[in-house]
Amino acid sequence: MIESKLDLYIDGLGVNFSGFQAVSNFSMVVAHGEMRVLLGANGAGKTTLMDMICGKTQSTEGKVFLGEQEITNKPPHVIARLGIGRKFQIPSVFKELTVLQNLSVAAMKQVSVFANLGSMKRQIHMDRLAEVMELTNLNKKADHVAGTLSHGETQWLELAMLIIRNPKVILLDEPTAGMTADETLKTSRIMNDLKGRHTIIVVEHDMAFVREIADKITVMHQGKFLAEGRISEIEKNQAVKDAYLGSGGIA
Amino acid sequence: MLDTVFIGLSLGSVLLLVALGLSIVYGSMGVINMAHGELVMIGAYTAVLSQIYLDINLFAAIPLAFVICAGLGLLIEKLVIRRLYNRLFDTLLATWGVAILLQQAIRLEFGLSFFGIHVDGLGPGLQSVTVPKVLSEPIMLGDFVLQPYRTFIILISIVLAAFTWFLMYRTRIGQQVRAIMRNKEMAAACGIDVKKINALTFAYGSGLAGVAGVMMSGFKTVMPDMGSAMVVDGFLVVVVGGVGSLVGSIVASGVLGQLTSFVAFFSNDIIARAVVFAVVICIIVWRPRGLFNYKGR
Amino acid sequence: MTHSHLKIMAYVIFIVTVLMLPLALDEFWLNRTAKYLIFGMLGVAVSLSWGYAGILNLGQGMFFGAGAYMLGMSLKLASPTSLEQGTESPIPDFMMWNAEPNAVIDLCCINSGSFLWIPFQSQTFGLIMAIALPVLFAWALGSIIFSKGISGVFISIITLASVLLMRLLVVDNQALTGGFNGLTDLAWFTVFGYEFDPYSVTTYYLVACSLIVVLLLTRLLINSRSGLILQSIRDDQNRAKYLGFDAAAYQTFFFCVSAAISGFAGLLYVITSEFASPTFMDLTFSITMVIWAAVGGRASILGACIGAIAISMLGSSVSESELFVESWQAILGLCFVLVVLFMPNGLAGIAHGLCKKFVARQDDKKQRNEQNKAEELTKGGAA
């Protein structure tokens, strides 16, 4: 029933926070290698949806499948190891460690504490680390403590940590938030580079950025599924226009 | 049976007196005040000293202890806590150092013992306070012996809890404290003088500790290290009740008080402590954020 | 001269000093120094748990005490007094005094619970339990608490409550544990027939080598991949989880290692001091351990170790003067407050800063020398 070409299959997912239904009966299917953009006004439930997929928040209804494996409500570290990577709105990296150390931690092949009792010199492939740092413009900052990076650089570090793990599905929550136009351009280049090799779900507001990268768009409104399709279809969709009436439509 | 329940209420009320101040300070400031137990101890010594030197009884010692401990709290906040707002966890350590200093100050009679001067009522020995006549005679209610002093403690804790509730939920300053509890930056952005309110909150919590100390002096022996175990009990109540929840502290102290009383009835005090500890662990496992907590998500 | 060179030098100097001390000290002082070294081991345990795992254990004494009592029980049963009670099995003197009326005078049944002592007739059992019991406690506590996302404060409070409780239980069960007096009149630790006289050079080397081994192994552990992951967990637990690491498992593991080291310190202490007492589980002692690590440097294994040794040495020498004996606790308390306020990384942090400046200046000098050389070459070439 579930095609093997699907990477993420969400079925009727929802969550109720002591009376407030943040997301209800949301379903979405994302194919392998697709770049899907999640659109919606603030409070539409996009971040909550991402939280449920990666295990940060426990859902109260519905299921999530990664390929054929059900991952609903599993602990975050288990879901992460099954192949889902998450980048947060507020960049979260290890501020007291250096850029190189951050990436080394992200690049660890094994997760158990006993498997990692070995020395740092083994199992860390320096060329792969260098490659990723090159891609994300961090090659000159390898020994800098992550807490000293600029906002844009911190975003790229988090992206780098994601890329180096080679997850099947990448969840990006507003990756260009707070970036300059120049940094946004660099970021879209990084993301186009990732396209095809990973399945990516992006929450974004910046429509110019969305146009650059999106294959398909899913629109959420008040925690529910509203519409889905290519960007041209979405722009013509009456329901979407109604939902955004008064907020200027899709600019 | 009724006796055990009554003792449970009395134990619970003592716990509440200690936990109230802790809960407010930790809940609104995020400050872990390990010197809270020592502030209780100072309150107890205030009762001792005021009985010896000022010849006033327990009732009058209450407001005196409140003022002295609140003042001490202001001092601690200004000298120590204020420098640690950007690393709150270290308040645990710094206040522990303050606690050691306070304990030693009393034990060494503020340094006077080095000069051979002994101040009556201070020093490493045990002290006690005589309870006012009106509260020391047990009253017979049929079969049940009513201990007036313990009843008085229960009443005082109810009054203080109610007064704290009133301050928090019906006054402007309480509103500001609650705003800071929810979101410090936003509160400051709304024009609330966070520094001043924090200092006052800490002072209030310390004052409450002082009153608890006066109450304790009436039935416990007063000694310099009586505070250490109290701060642990206080935090256990806060952890079970839920940080920042007044109702949580009340319920938790009631539950833990009754539990201690009942288990102690069937075995002994030490087993009671062990059982209470095990129950606290179970509650935390079941509800890591405590029984009541205001954080929705 | 790089930073890591300086670090290695520090370790080498420390190790050599420790090993050379018997040349300078007599047996009495060697025994005292051995005790300080054991406290140094405790400093390592606290630093590992607090500085690296981010777990502030306010009740480290419970692991130390457990280790001491476990071996202590074996050494008690091996003592001449216990062996000469005129019974088949050795019986500790305090059990004889607390015998239940009409009980059979034998280790199995002299009072309820005395049968627990039976396996301790084997010193090896006592040795194993000295490490195993603390690890078991730590594992039980850790598995329950770390996975619940309970804030660090409450973890500290729970460890605090644990050590208080443990002390109460030990003192209360006099018939089983010797109560307030603890375990005294112990036999000497014996390995393959060789008896370790607490005042001999051999015992000193037993302790010194143990400390060095623990120091180096802990250093290796921290430099391993798990050590780096642990530090990332301490930095941002959630981020680490979303990278696939089971944060609770890492915390529990390192908590257990810290407990094992403390248990080891406990068993060494009982060998050198010939007693085990409930004072090991005093709150003040556990807090003092934290003060050692705070002053020495919570995130530095060697720093915390040296901090512990230095402060306890200072504390003992102070007991010569009456004035200082009384005020030692107050002085410690004041130091603690000042260190937390103004020197949060302890003396090691200050040393670290100085090293950085030193290394930076060396680098600067090197750069300038190279620049000068290059200039001279171009001048020479031009001329």
Q: Do A17 and A78 lie in a common domain? A: yes
What does pLDDT average to over chain A?
83
Question: pLDDT tens digits, residue range B236-248?
Answer: 999 898 887 888 9
Question: pLDDT tens digits, residue range A147-193?
Answer: 898 888 888 899 889 888 888 889 988 887 778 888 888 888 888 88
Closest residue in B to A17 (Cα) is: B297
C156, C330, C332: residue with CB nearest B92: C156
Chain-centroid distance of CA B242 in Å reads 16
pLDDT band at A213 (very low <50, low <70, confident <90, very high): confident
List residues bridging with A151 in a β-sheet.
none
Please report the pLDDT score of residue C258 as a whole number. 97
Please report the pLDDT score of residue A249 as a whole number. 44
Please report the pLDDT score of residue B295 as a whole number. 52
Q: Which of B195, B168, B169 is nearest to B29 (CA)?
A: B195
d(CA C203, CA C190): 11
Question: pLDDT tens digits, residue range C320-350?
Answer: 777 777 788 888 899 999 999 999 889 998 9
**Residue C292 in contact with residue C304, Cβ under 8 Å?**
yes
Chain C within 8 Å of B104 (Cβ-Cβ)?
Answer: yes
Whether A88 maps to a domain, the answer reads: no
Supply φ then ψ for residue A65, to 5 degrees: -125, 135
Question: pLDDT tens digits, residue range B129-175?
Answer: 777 777 777 777 776 777 788 888 888 899 999 999 898 888 988 88
Residues in A touching C256 (Cβ below 8 Å): none
Q: Do A57 and A124 lie in a common domain? A: no
Q: Do A112 and A209 lie in a common domain? A: no
SS3 C274: coil
Domain boundary among A109, A144, A164: A164
Q: Which domain holds residue A7?
A: 1-83+167-251
Question: pLDDT tens digits, residue range A219-237?
Answer: 888 888 888 888 888 878 8
DSSP letter assigned to residue A180: -
Q: Which of A230, A167, A226, A229 is nearest to A200 (CA)?
A: A167
Domain residue ranges in chain C: 3-280
Please report the pLDDT score of residue B297 as a whole number. 33
C38-42, C132-136, C329-333: which has the minimum mean pLDDT? C329-333
Q: Are strands A84-87 and A169-173 parallel, antiparallel or unpaired?
A: parallel
Secondary structure element (H or E) that encloses residue A19, with its range: none
Strand runs labelled E in B108-166: 139-141, 144-146
Question: pLDDT tens digits, residue range A40-71?
Answer: 877 778 888 888 888 888 888 888 888 888 88
Q: Which residue type, as a one-letter code, is found at position C92?
A: P
SS3 C181: helix
CB pairs under 8 A between B and C: 99
The yes-or-no verdict on residue C3 having pLDDT over 80 is: no
Domain boundary among A145, A164, A183: A164
What does pLDDT average to over chain B?
86
Q: Encoding tokens for residue C209?
A: 């080598």
The yes-or-no verdict on residue A99 having pLDDT over 80 is: yes
pLDDT band at C203 (very low <50, low <70, confident <90, very high): very high
DSSP C184-218: -SPPPEEETTEEE-TTSHHHHHHHHHHHHHHHHHH
Closest residue in C to B91 (Cα) is: C340
Mutation for C interface: A71, A79, A82, A105, most C CBs within 10 A: A105
**Residue A116 in contact with residue C229, Cβ under 8 Å?**
yes
Mean pLDDT of C85-99: 82
Residues in C touching A114 (Cβ below 8 Å): 226, 253
What percentage of chain A carries pLDDT values higher than 90?
7
B116-125, C249-258, C352-361: which has the minimum mean pLDDT? B116-125
Mean pLDDT of A61-84: 88
Q: Do A133 and A179 lie in a common domain? A: no
Q: Do A48 and A61 lie in a common domain? A: yes
Which chains reach chain C with 3 or more Cβ–Cβ distances below 8 angstroms? A, B
B216-220, C164-168, C216-220, C246-250: which has the minimum mean pLDDT? B216-220
pLDDT band at B36 (very low <50, low <70, confident <90, very high): very high
Please report the pLDDT score of residue C68 as a whole number. 96
Domain boundary among A136, A164, A192: A164
Please report the pLDDT score of residue A131 as a whole number. 84
Whether A45 maps to a domain, the answer reads: yes
Question: pLDDT tens digits, residue range C253-280?
Answer: 999 999 999 999 999 999 999 999 999 9
Q: Do A120 and C245 touch (CB under 8 A)?
A: no
The yes-or-no verdict on residue A4 having pLDDT over 70 is: no
Strand runs labelled E in chain A: 6-17, 20-31, 35-39, 61-66, 69-70, 84-87, 169-173, 199-203, 216-221, 224-229
What percentage of chain B carries pLDDT values higher than 70?
98
**Residue B17 in contact with residue B208, Cβ under 8 Å?**
yes
How many angstroms separate the Cα of A156 from the Cα of each of A148, A191, B156, C113? 13, 11, 58, 62
DSSP C89-129: S---HHHHHTPPTT--SSTTTSSTTGGGGGGGGSHHHHHHH
Question: pLDDT tens digits, residue range C118-128?
Answer: 899 889 999 99
The yes-or-no verdict on residue A1 having pLDDT over 60 is: no
Q: Do A33 and A145 lie in a common domain? A: no
**Residue B153 in contact with residue B12, Cβ under 8 Å?**
no
Number of compact structural domains in chain A = 2
List residues bridging with A119 in a β-sheet.
C224
Q: Do A181 and A244 lie in a common domain? A: yes
Please report the pLDDT score of residue A244 as a whole number. 65
Q: Do A138 and A179 lie in a common domain? A: no
A54-63, B87-96, C149-158, C322-331: which has the minimum mean pLDDT? C322-331
Q: Do A34 and A154 lie in a common domain? A: no
Domain residue ranges in chain B: 2-225
Residues in A touching B297 (Cβ below 8 Å): 17, 57
Mean pLDDT of A190-217: 81
Place of tokens 């410090």: B184
Question: Is the ipTM, as predicted for this complex, more than 0.90?
Answer: no
Please report the pLDDT score of residue C312 as a whole number. 92
pTM of the model: 0.89
